[in-house]
Amino acid sequence: MERRWTLYDPRLAWMLVAPVLLLLIFFLVLPIAVMAAYTFFTFVTAGVETSALTTANWHEFFTDSYYSGFLLKTLRVGAITALLCGVLGYFPAYFIWATTFKHKWLLLLLLIVPFWISFTIRTFSWINILGEQGVINVALPKLGIINEPLPMLYNEGAVILGMLHFLLPYMILNVYVSLEGIDRTLISAARSMGCTSAQAFREVTLPLSLPGLAAGLLLCFVLAAGSYVTPQLLGSGRDALFGNLIYDTIMGELNWPMGATLSIVLFVVLGFFAAIYTRYMGMSQIVKGLAG
Amino acid sequence: MKLTNSKRLERLQDRYMNGGVSRRTFLTLTAAAAAAAGLDMPWMRQALAAVEQVRFDGWGGTVQDAIDKYAFQPYTAKTKIKVVQGTFGDEDEIITKIKTAKPGDYQVIHSSGVNYYIKYVNGGLTSEINEANIPNMVNVLQPMIEPFRKLTPKLSAVPYDYGTTGIAYNTKVISPEEAKQKGAALLLDKKYAGKVGGYDDMTTRVWYAALATGQDPNNIKDMDAIWAKVRETRDLAKKFWSSGAELMDLLSKGEIVVTDAWSGRVAALQDQGHPIGYLDPAGSYAWMEDMLILKGSPMAECEELINFMLDPATSIAVAEGQSYPPSLDPTKVKLTEKIEKLPAFDKTGTMKTLTFADPVYWATNEDAWTKQWNRISKGA
């Protein structure tokens, strides 16, 4: 029988996916491979390294508690940020989904509006809100509520706040898309069988929206743990995350082999979490959450 | 300025010698130029008139604004060669970018003197300037040129300005009398805990710790005492700034009331009317800046640009604009009253009143100390 092209022909699928695969190979896999090779290069002095192979960089990473301490701290801050995003982001997403407001698109547009402004400028704006001369510290003494300015800037709280500001829209959109995928007749059915509104939410809406919430948590965690700019602008040196360590090693010490080692470590650790997550949640669930 | 073909060929040769063009391109363009003697085709003119712009990277802010306004814009008006500009907050940042770029992508750097010059030399990033093409170098302070020449007899950079990293303080909180009395110790005054700032830079931190422990910053004997002082400042500090713009922002918004600071940036704040005082304590950290031409740059055009920048009229205008004294020798060139009043200005031309970092001593310790400072700054 003559073999003919069909709509779901694997050859066609490979042809269609080939450009993206090539892009991924050349711009993702290959750079990571080069970076992995760099981890075995020898650092000579600032800005100078040789291709003489050594395991010194890995030895330093595994034997120096400074690095593991920062890695754990980064994972902690990433997890706190992701959880806060989940708690704070679910309700707006639910509200947008449940509202009968005629122009719902306006609410969704409001979510996207912050992306029209540079991320760095949005982060800097917190300095004018939380700083010694910021809105809060100027207004509260005038209202007689405080005598001394509140130390709200350049600490871990400010860093987490800045990351929440940046990541919340991602969480809300993920949860919203997941909620939009729920068949509303299921909720009506639950109500008709005697469920209260709260019970219908707990038994039907919440479980069915979990893939979106899970996808949002993973996304927020990975982005927060890999963050560099926010701790740099809103935190003190002590509030630095692993990304800042990588920056200092590459840009400050001009030690590319060690910087590459730290970069690969962060890549592997975050990849490990994504893999575990996928193992127990199922990638299809996450993709479903992302795609709706 | 209209260039002759022979001048263009000389420049082409310079670029080839400095690695800016490949052998193949060089031979192709030379052959085209040779043929042009008899055949003047339009495409050959295009091939020869390759350099229409020079790339410059500097510190941004008020400093680069002044250079752009008083040097680059007049230079472009005169020569039609455009100066494309980039900025950086930290010079290590631009060195990283240069390392990842191909020769010629970055050309002229407003570099932080001899300490950084070593890094470019070690990285094989330097060029060789033809000093005959920069006649205005005759006015440049010899004590500023000599440290560079010790590292590379054939220079890749020309000193352009200098300044100090002294102590800046908010005069609404700290009186000039108190500042004068305490000097560098202000950075360690517990009274200002949480309101202290500092440059996020190993050299500055170690330098001021050396002054605080009574040691010679160019011959430190007790590093443990230095790191203890660095930690002390860290614990009192609200924020270590990493760019001139951030320094000005922190000081002007009152986030910090005392910090080590770049003299020119403080002068700019004072010009804007902010209540900021400045003093250079004994042994204050002096530094110089230079215009460094990188390997692979169009040498003749870059040299021409630097010569233009060193012209006394241009250099003085830039110095007044950026609030840093120029590298011009005051015994050879009559400088203005405004420049003579700038912080760090040395009227003798010997630079003996200023304490510069010994480049070899600091380069020897740079890697280990930078690593240690990066750790301490993060709470270690």
Asked if B240's CB is within 8 angstroms of A154's CB, the reply is no
Question: Taking CB atoms and an 8 Å cutoff, what residues of chain A touch B372?
Answer: none
The model's pTM: 0.80
Measured distance CA(A90)–CA(A94) in Å, rounded? 6
Question: Can you tell me whether residue B104 is helix, strand or coil?
Answer: coil
Q: How far is A237 from chain B (nearest CA, A)?
A: 4
Cα angle A197, A203, A209; round to 5: 100
- pLDDT tens, B82-119? 999 999 988 988 999 999 899 999 999 999 989 899 99
Between the alpha carbon of residue A136 and those of residues A142, A146, B311, the distances in Å are 10, 10, 51
Residue in chain B lying closest to A69 (CA)? B380
Question: What is the Rg, in whole angstroms, of the alpha carbon atoms belonging to chain A?
Answer: 24
Share of chain B above pLDDT 90, in %: 73
A220: burial class by Cβ within 10 Å (0-12, 13-18, 19+)? buried
Gap between the Cα atoms of B106 and B94, Å rounded: 9
Pairs of CB atoms within 8 A across A/B: 71
Contacts of A127 in chain B (CB under 8 A): 249, 253
CATH number 1.10.3720.10 is the correct assignment for the domain at A66-291: yes
Give pLDDT tens digits for A74-100.
999 999 999 999 999 999 999 999 998
Mean pLDDT (chain B) is 88
* CATH numbers and ranges of domains, chain B: 5-162+288-356 (3.40.190.10), 165-286 (3.40.190.10)
Chain B positions in Cβ-Cβ contact with residue A238 (cut-off 8 Å)? 378-379
Q: Does B176 touch chain A (CB under 8 A)?
A: no
Question: What does each of the 292 residues of chain A score in pLDDT, given as a tens digit?
Answer: 556 667 777 888 888 899 999 999 999 999 999 999 999 999 999 889 999 999 999 999 999 999 999 999 999 999 999 999 999 999 999 999 999 888 888 998 998 898 898 888 999 899 899 988 889 999 999 999 998 889 899 999 999 999 999 999 999 999 999 999 999 999 999 999 999 999 999 999 999 999 899 989 999 999 999 999 999 999 988 899 999 999 999 988 999 999 999 999 999 999 998 888 777 766 555 555 555 4
Structural element, H or E, at residue B95: helix B91-100
The ranges assigned to domains in chain A are: 66-291
- Across the interface, do A46 and B370 touch by the CB < 8 Å criterion? yes
Are B370 and A253 in contact (CB < 8 Å)? yes
* CB < 8 Å from A in window 249-278 of B: 249, 253-255
Calpha distance B261→B281 (Å, rounded): 12
B353 touches chain A (CB under 8 A): no
Q: Give the mutation candidate from B88, B93, B96, B192 for the A interface (greatest A CB count, under 10 A).
A: B96
Nearest-CA distance B138 → chain A (Å): 33
Strand partners, A78: none
Q: Rounded to a whole number, what is the distance in Å from the CA of A102 to chain B's nearest CA?
A: 45
Asked if B97 has any chain A CB less than 8 Å from its own CB, the reply is no
Is the Cβ pair B370, A251 closer than 8 Å? no
Tokens of A157: 């709280």
Minimal CA separation from B377 to chain A, in Å = 5
Q: Which residues of A touch B93 (CB under 8 A)?
A: 251
Q: Which chain B residues touch A66 with a CB distance below 8 Å?
A: 375, 380
The distance of A150 to chain B (nearest Cα, Å) reads: 12
Sequence-distant (6+) residues with CB within 8 A of B176 are B277, B279
